[in-house]
Amino acid sequence: MNKAIIGRKVGMTQIFAEDGRVIPVTVVEAGPCPVVQVKTVETDGYSALKLGLIETSEKSLNKPDLGQFTKAKVKPCKVLKEVRLDSVEGYQVGGSVKADIFAAGDHVDVAGVTKGHGYTGVIKRWNQRRLKETHGVGPVHREPGSMGANSSPSRVFKQKHLAGQYGVENVTIQNLEVVRVDAARNAILIKGAIPGPKGSIVTIGDSVKSK
């Protein structure tokens, strides 16, 4: 990535294009993100930036995290996240990354943690069908069904779709279009949906794959 920023998902809405089309967008409050640390190939073996988001009080942080902000002479932030970049030229500790690094028409990749659904059955988790609701099939019609062979191999194969924890996974959606950037409000409007519930932290970077 050549540029990236972290933000907080506000929610979804819709806007109207000049030709009258309705465009569904996700609003992300992106920055301003203070630069807490600049990592280079010479010092750390790779290029990256440590960015903060959402100012908070000193007493709400532990000593290791607070020490990083104190060393950088930056106000403490609730969120501290590292983003890898191809080059960190032009960035310096104490500076800030704002939403205007992106512009309308850019294509970005958005990474976040999906919504949690708790312990979920196979129908909701894996989109499986119900069993036949006829006599002899019950009393449960939403169970996973046959577990496979009999005495051979006498076990359930790994990776079989069964009930379990659904959601809370790191997901990246690629090639989303930036519809509008409101630098005054630190807002980026991205076409379509992005991972995570309202208020969750997401990372926005320029698209790795060309559309």
Which CATH superfamily groups domain 4-115+170-206? Translation factors (2.40.30.10)
Task: Tell me the CA distances in angstroms from 126 to 6, 79, 120, 169, 184, one per residue in order.
Answer: 31, 33, 9, 15, 42
Helices of type H across the chain: 41-44, 63-72, 122-126
pLDDT at 151: 80
Q: Could you report the per-residue pLDDT of 97-114, keeping only the tens digit for each?
A: 999 999 999 999 999 999
**Rg of the chain (C-alpha set):** 23
Q: Could you report the per-residue pLDDT of 125-135, keeping only the tens digit for each?
A: 999 999 888 88
CA 152-154-155 angle, 5° bins: 130
pLDDT at 59 over 80: yes
Correct CATH for 116-167 of 4.10.960.10, 1.20.1050.10, 3.40.190.10, 3.40.50.2300: 4.10.960.10
